[in-house]
């Protein structure tokens, strides 16, 4: 296991590591500024790829249910803000996309991991979701997310908070 994988694996019950990241539309988001609302923080590998698009559109389509519970959804990848702007516009995504260019936030959450494709090893973002309660405590963690059924599982956990 690489050092980055060992660095931090945030588990349920732990305080969510605070962050400030640039977002689509030239803004920024700070986790601690969202206290008082539950936050769905989901990490995904790349804008406009099949699995990432499917996951983003799932959150988009269920947004009224999440908003009804006062939840904030934040999608995070290493893509640039410009890439996020295009992705958000193309699929009409009504939630924040944050750019973790240096993977510092991904490391803090333990989702910057060694991957392998065709025998080649490289570092990348693990698809993972963290449900953070209104007090900044991680309540649920999903790692190595499979997109099918994931949004419904996150919504169900949010409803149980």
Catalytic machinery residues: 52
d(CA 138, CA 38): 10
Place of tokens 């290493």: 78
Q: How far is CA 153 from CA 12, 20, 119, 140, in A?
A: 15, 27, 32, 10
Question: At a CB cut-off of 8 Å and minimum separation 6, what does 50 contact?
Answer: none
* Burial (0-12, 13-18, 19+ Cβ within 10 Å), 22: middle
Q: Which of 115, 129, 122, 113 is nearest to 4 (CA)?
A: 113
């Amino acid at each position: 296991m690489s050092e980055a994988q060992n660095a931090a694996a945030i588990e349920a019950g732990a305080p969510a590591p605070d962050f400030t990241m640039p977002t689509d539309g030239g803004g920024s988001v700070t986790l601690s500024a969202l206290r008082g609302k539950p936050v769905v923080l989901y990490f995904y590998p790349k804008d406009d790829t099949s699995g990432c698009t499917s996951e983003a559109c799932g959150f988009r389509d269920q947004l009224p249910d999440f908003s009804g519970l006062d939840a904030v959804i934040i999608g995070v990848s290493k893509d640039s803000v410009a890439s996020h702007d295009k992705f958000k516009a193309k699929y009409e995504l009504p939630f924040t996309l944050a750019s973790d260019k240096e993977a510092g936030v991904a490391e803090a959450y333990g989702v910057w991991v060694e991957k392998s494709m065709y025998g080649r090893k490289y570092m990348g973002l693990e698809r993972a979701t963290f449900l953070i309660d209104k007090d900044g405590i991680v309540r649920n963690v999903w790692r190595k997310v499979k997109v099918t059924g994931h949004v419904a599982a996150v919504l169900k956990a949010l409803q149980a908070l």
